[in-house]
């Protein structure tokens, strides 16, 4: 009889332990459901677009990510991310993904995406390596910089609204990647205003700032192609990035238009004051004058100083041996 009692006691203990485990499992399952619900809510409330890519397919997106592309998470799931990325930016994006898969630390990078009716958007992204179903995957966080204050603060010059140096260098790097693939050229134009210091000394810095704003507006009238970039990197220094260049005449045509645009004095602010603007322009061309952004910027700078030494309203192509200017200087003498 005592043996039966012992067996019954053991069975009761097992039943009690089973009930305890069931209760613990139910509590854990509830916590997991609540945590998943919390994560879903946080992801869908987040201003950052989030997606998970595995095997060249998007297996998860939040609401914000889908809205960037004018669709829903359900519609975008299982699509290839490469169909959504601007073709010329495939290589730099793949380079960042490969770096993450190889264990490198996450970093921010920019690329262009296409969203409905071929609209191009600038995206700031970062990636991280995760595992889903015991397989490697990439978690991406993205911000649409096409519009809004974030883009203005981080990547534009606060005075003129032009691109700043950070954005210029990023676009120049991507332009070089695209030029390699298409076997064409990229041109960097470094513009410096002659005697701009005299404007500040004579009329004050407020007038100088108003003149810089007017100059930026004129540059926008000259450089209109979507894939080209105008940047102010400080003071009276401006850069123009020209992409898809197949011959030198495309560059000199833009330069001709630049000098024509500044042939007459510019109105400054709301006053009746008009000031004559003289430019010195240096040009460096990928791959002739450099294979990377730093070399092109440096050589365009050198060409600009060569032009400045010769006379006002002049331009030079970089020449590694003599830094000689255009002999015919095109259509005009462009004398001061």
Catalytic residues: 236
Q: Which residues pair with 30 in a beta bridge?
A: none
The three-point CA angle 86-90-96 to 5° equals 125
Q: Which residues pair with 314 in a beta bridge?
A: 280
Enclosing H/E stretch for 137 = strand 135-144
Ramachandran category for residue 185: left, alpha or beta (phi over 0 → left; psi -120 to 50 → alpha): beta
Contact 330, 320 (CB under 8 A): no
Enclosing H/E stretch for 143 = strand 135-144
Return the closest-CA partner of residue 188 out of 322, 323, 291: 291
Q: How far apart are CA 74 and CA 97, in angstroms?
A: 24
What is the DSSP secondary-structure string of 4-54? HHHHHHHHHHHHHHHHHHHHHHHHHHHHHHHHHHHHHHHHHH-SSEEEEEE
Residue whose structure tokens are 């260049």? 245
Q: How far apart are CA 196 and CA 275, in angstroms?
A: 10
Alpha-helical (H) ranges within the chain are 2-45, 63-68, 73-76, 90-101, 149-155, 165-182, 196-203, 205-222, 248-261, 293-310
User: Cβ contacts of residue 126 below 8 Å, gap of 6+?
Assistant: 106, 107, 108, 109, 140, 141
Contact 188, 283 (CB under 8 A): yes
């Amino acid at each position: 009889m005592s043996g039966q009692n012992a067996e019954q006691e053991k069975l009761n203990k097992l039943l009690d332990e089973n009930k305890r485990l069931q209760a613990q499992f139910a509590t854990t399952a509830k916590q997991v459901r609540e945590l998943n619900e919390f994560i879903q809510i946080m992801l869908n409330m987040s201003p950052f677009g989030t997606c998970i890519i595995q095997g060249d397919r998007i297996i998860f997106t939040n609401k914000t990510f889908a809205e960037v592309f004018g669709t829903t998470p359900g519609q975008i799931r299982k699509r290839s991310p490469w169909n959504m990325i601007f073709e010329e930016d495939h290589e730099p994006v793949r380079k960042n993904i490969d770096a993450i898969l190889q264990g490198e630390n996450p970093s921010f990078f920019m690329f262009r995406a296409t969203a409905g009716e071929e609209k191009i958007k600038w995206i700031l992204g970062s990636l991280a390596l995760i595992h889903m179903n015991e397989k490697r995957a990439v978690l991406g966080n993205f911000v649409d910089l096409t519009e809004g204050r974030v883009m203005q603060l981080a990547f534009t010059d606060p005075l003129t609204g032009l691109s700043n140096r950070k954005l210029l260098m990023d676009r120049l790097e991507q332009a070089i990647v695209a030029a390699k693939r298409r076997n064409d050229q990229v041109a960097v134009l470094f513009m410096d205003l002659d005697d701009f210091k005299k404007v500040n000394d004579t009329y004050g810095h407020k007038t100088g700032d108003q003149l810089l704003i007017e100059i930026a507006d004129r540059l926008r009238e000259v450089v209109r192609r979507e894939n080209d970039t105008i940047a102010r990197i400080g003071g009276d220094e401006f850069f123009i990035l020209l992409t898809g260049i197949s011959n030198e005449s495309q560059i000199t045509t833009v330069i001709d238009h630049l000098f024509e645009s500044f042939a007459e004095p510019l109105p400054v602010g709301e006053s009746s004051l008009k000031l004559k603007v003289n430019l010195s322009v240096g040009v460096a061309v990928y791959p002739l004058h450099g294979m990377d952004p730093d070399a092109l910027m440096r050589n365009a700078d050198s060409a600009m100083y060569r032009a400045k030494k010769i006379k006002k309203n002049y331009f030079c192509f970089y020449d590694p041996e003599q830094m000689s200017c255009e002999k015919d200087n095109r259509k005009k003498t462009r004398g001061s």
